[in-house]
Amino acid sequence: MKEDILLNKPAPQFKLPDKDKRVVENNNFRGKWVVVYFYPKDNTKGCTLEAIDFTKSINEFKNYNAVVLGISPDSPESHCRFYDKHNLNLLLLSDTDHTVAKEYGVWKKKSMYGKNFMGIERSTFLIDPEGRVRAIWRKVKVPGHVDEVLETLKSLQ
């Protein structure tokens, strides 16, 4: 398998609004592990399950000095509704123009029911306290994914 171009390199920098329209920079988390997960759309089945799974494990991530950032093309207002509806406990960031998704290589041509379109390829990046990408999961399948990320985080510490 071809090694991912971002692996062991400095993570692409970003500044994105959260659900409350506060700008969040990934540089603000230096000294912590950062889980950045990209997902296609608020309130869809897989994305909801993934957000709930990360929320259920959020205290364990915190115990390992990690923050969890979910990024999608949805607006801050959509994130706010999604967050409240499912009692989430993680940072949701809006990448409405797909700039950050492109930097991380997750804005891809997709197809469904014979139609081609551009969209987010569900992916997760684990960034170390110095800002380097230490693990990457692309084309993520939701069941068991959060546990796998947590196990990798533990093994790298």
Active site residues: 47
Q: DSSP states of 99-146 as a string? A: HHHHHTT-EEEEEETTEEEEEE--EEEEE-TTSBEEEEE-S--STTHH
Q: Following DSSP, what letter does each residue of 141-157 receive, concatenated?
A: -STTHHHHHHHHHHHH-
The CA distance from 72 to 56, in Å, is 20
